[in-house]
Structures are given as C-alpha cells and as structure tokens.
Amino acid sequence: MCRTGRRRRAKDVRPRRSAPEALAPLCPPRRWAGWGALAAIYMLRVFVVGGFYIVTYALGIFNLNLLVGFLTPKFLPAPPPEEEGPGLPTKNTEEFRPFVRKLPEFKFWWASSRAWLVGLACTLFRFLDFPVFWPVLVLYFLLLTGLTLQRQIQHMRKYKYVPFDIGKPKAGGGGKGGKVGAGTAPRRDL
C-alpha cells in the first residue's frame, strides 16, 4: 500500500514540473524576448507565404483582448462621487493600494505565446487561407484598436488608476512621495 502511495505522489509531481508555472522563474525580459521571437517567426511566415490574413486578424483581436484584460484592475476602485457641491474631505492622504490586474503578466504572456504558436500551426494548412482583401482588415483592426484603447483610457481616468508602476510609490520603499505603507506616521515635533 505504501508503494502505490509513492507512485501516486510521483505521478502527481511529474505534471506539475511540466506545467507553465515551471517557466515562471524565468525573468520577464527573457520570457518576452521569447514571445517577440515567436511573433517575428509568425510574421515572417505570413510574409513569405503571402496569405493567412484572417488567421492574423483573429490573432490580433485575441491579443488585443488579452491586453485589455492586462490593463484592467481585478477589483474596480470606488467610483468617484458625484460633484454636487463642496464636501468635507474624507481622507488626509491617499492610502497605498497596489494595482491587482484582472489578467496577471505571466498568464498574459502564456496565453499570448500559445496564441502565436496556434497561429503558426494554422499557417501550415492551406484550407485556412481564405482569400480576402487585406487592407480592409488592417483598417478595421486599427479602428477597433484605437476605439478599444480610447475606451480603456477613459476607464482609467474615470476610476483614477494607473496600471503601470512608473512614478508610483512602493509599499515599503520610497517613491516620489516618500515612504508609504505601514509604520509611516507623520512626525510631530513638540
């Protein structure tokens, strides 16, 4: 009975090692360099073959959807109060709230990398190369991207969040605003 328990545990460990979390320790620049290489290989393949515009369009829409999920917070901040006149201040200083993404960076990278691989595999089958007038697809994709990003920027302004760490104070360290976090009370001189 003890041996079967060991075998089960050994079988359970094997899939975990091959899971995408095994790639998580790779530093993000290396992961994104691999992603860029996949994207370049796909684009080179489409350029050499001279087709697969519908597959490329679907791949672009999928990656745009992933980008929106990456830029959107998991928990929406409280909507700004309607300005009906002067009100009393509710907080002395803004509290540090880390930005938690709806789609974390690793899952974004993993899903996008799989999409590039699936798109590359789709270019191997001629029946997926539909004859289309590609400039219309490019214009429609650019229009859709512009409108989607404009809506996302309006959402960011409405709820007053920034999805990037540039210029934001850190929880335990100093940022532009000094130290923010637990244990940083204002000093009172007597």
Average pLDDT estimate for 2-16? 50
Q: Which residue has the higher pLDDT, 134 or 15?
A: 134
User: The tokens of 25 are what?
Assistant: 């320790």
Grade residue 172 by pLDDT with cuts at 50, 70 and 90. low
Q: Is the pLDDT of residue 63 over 70?
A: yes
- The alpha carbon torsion through 135, 138, 144, 146 (nearest 10 deg) reads -110
Kindly state whether residue 19 falls inside one of the protein's structural domains.
Answer: no
pLDDT at 157: 86
Domain count, the chain: 1
Q: What is the pLDDT of residues 110-143, one digit of tens each?
A: 999 999 999 999 999 999 989 899 899 999 999 9
Burial code (b: 16+ CB inside 10 Å, e: under 16) for 43-62 equals: eeebeeeebbbbbbbebbeb
In a domain, 56, yes or no: yes
Q: Please give the residue that has the higher pLDDT: either 42 or 17.
A: 42
**For residue 131, what are the domain limits?**
29-77+100-165
What's the CA gap between 169 and 165, in Å, rounded?
A: 8
Q: What's the pLDDT tens digit per position in 29-45? A: 888 999 999 999 999 99
In a domain, 44, yes or no: yes
Mean pLDDT calculated for residue range 97-108: 84
On whether residue 139 sits in a domain, the answer given is yes
Q: pLDDT at position 188, please?
A: 45
pLDDT for the residue 94: 57
Q: Decide if 183 is inside a domain.
A: no
The dihedral over CA atoms of 164, 166, 172, 178, expressed in degrees to the nearest 10, equals -140
pLDDT reading at 88 higher than 50: no
One-letter amino acid at 1 equals M
Asked whether residue 113 is assigned to any structural domain, the reply reads yes
Tell me if 34 is assigned to some domain: yes
Q: What is the mean pLDDT of residues 91-107?
A: 74
**Per-residue pLDDT, 40:** 96
